[in-house]
Amino acid sequence: MKSTRLNVLKVALGAIVIAAALFILAGCTTSSNTGTASSTTASSTTSSSSADKTITVAASPTPHAEILAVAASVLAQQGYTLKVIEYTDYILPNVATTTGEVDANYFQHQPYLTNYNQKNGTNLVSVAKIHFEPLAIYAGKSSSLSSLKDGATVAVPNDATNEARALLLLADQGLITLKDPTNLTATINDIASNPKNLQFKELEAAAVPAALPDVDIAVINGNYALSAGLTAANQLAAESATSLAAQTYANILVTTPEKANTEKIQALAGALQSSAVRDFITTHYNGAVIPVF
């Protein structure tokens, strides 16, 4: 009798153990499948919405980031989110675009891009022309061009294209002459005559406004002039909106060849060439920035 009861007890215990094992196994399997499905869904959602509908752009703070803020409103109506990363130099935005850290950049003109590609072995491309920033001469120690003394100091940007542009502007004002008045790569070595014996201080473009109190005059890029609080009213002379410079030095939207025709880059180009952006540029900058579309 005791033997029979013992056997029944063993069977019951065995059944309990087996049931518990099956319960634990079932619980683990359900948890694992749920986690995989959740992860896949999240990944898919990120790919279709965040990656495709978020556009990251490297830009100079002024006026590029300001113009992009207007474009962001246009893009939002199409379901896009625009993320702007601001840079204050002319090198890192192209590096970030090449490496894929950003989708595109907006800070430069075509001659600068061409020169950058040649020097760095890159193949970044222009997608659209947006605006032109007239390069201008601003007063430092001298209050006018006519009052410049012999040996006066002139600050100019030191990068290849903008230095040439500065020299062409100085030549247009009769302060110097160049060996070739159409040379878009001219340097101070290409000056043919310098009646006032001007002394040139070649600086990184971003540093020129800060040097203004220490020089007689300075030739400053439009975006850096705006950042320094300089306006068209402070200019002694500037490139005209109908000049060769306006056609050549329009600021452009830049990306890689692989991304140039993607929907989101084309959407960005369309937003930057919208009537909302044109109206903003025209009314906000008072001629210091000019739309070219």
Report the CATH number at residue 86: 3.40.190.10
| The predicted structure's pLDDT at residue 46 | 33
Q: Are both 234 and 141 inside the same structural domain?
A: yes
| The predicted structure's pLDDT at residue 286 | 81
Residue 16 lies in a domain: no
Could you tell me which residues are beta bridge partners of residue 219?
137
SS3 188: helix
Of the two residues 45 and 249, the one the predictor is more confident about is 249
Q: Are 253 and 124 in contact (CB under 8 A)?
A: no
Q: Are both 147 and 120 inside the same structural domain?
A: no
Residue 11 lies in a domain: no
Q: Tokens representing 138?
A: 């601003």
| The predicted structure's pLDDT at residue 39 | 27
Give the domain range for residue 141. 136-238
Residue 34 lies in a domain: no
Q: How confident is the model at residue 52 (pLDDT cuts 50, 70, 90)?
A: confident
Q: Are both 141 and 230 inside the same structural domain?
A: yes
Mean of the per-residue pLDDT values of the chain: 84
Q: Are both 129 and 145 inside the same structural domain?
A: no
Tens of pLDDT, residues 83-128: 999 999 889 999 999 999 999 999 999 989 999 999 999 999 999 9
Residue 63 lies in a domain: yes
Q: Tokens representing 269?
A: 């180009």
| The predicted structure's pLDDT at residue 155 | 98
Q: Number of structural domains, the chain? A: 2
Assess whether pLDDT exceeds 70 at residue 225.
yes
Give this prediction's pTM. 0.67
